Amino acid sequence: MADAPDGGRQALQARVLRMLPPLIAALWIAGIANFRDFGFGPLDYLTLLAAALALQLVLGRMRGSGRPIVLPASSNPTTIALLAAAMTAALAIVLGGIVEALVPALPGHDLPPWALRTLWHGACAFGASYCRFLSRLLPSSSPPPA
């Protein structure tokens, strides 16, 4: 009976890790809208959040459970997810910086500094990819399929 709470905790952590990337993507879009001075009201934020969660549900069912990535016994899944997310963030910073430099501001609107907008892209990419990689790398409470 003592194993049940720990197994439930691992299942809860796995669910949270799977749900965070779409929430971070919604936060990313809301941040861009804020930077570009698009007026988002409470209903717009709610719609964005509902769309992100619905997309996660649909894509999760299309992908299925997905096989976890098998790592050597001496490797640390957290470190590997951190390195993979850092590479993804670096790519997002480069691409986001290029896009932010090319897209002009609306007339009469001052944008936040270019570096802040670029780091926003990198930070959101890092968070979403870290959670995604970690959810695939951490051992699940259920045995792998035979």
Calculate mean pLDDT across residues 17-24: 87
Q: Where are the domains of the chain?
A: 77-146
d(CA 138, CA 69): 8
Nearest to 130 by CA among 10, 14, 17, 54: 17
User: What is the tens place of the pLDDT at every residue in 56-111?
Assistant: 888 777 776 666 677 788 888 889 999 999 999 999 999 999 999 998 888 888 88
Q: What is the pTM of this model?
A: 0.79
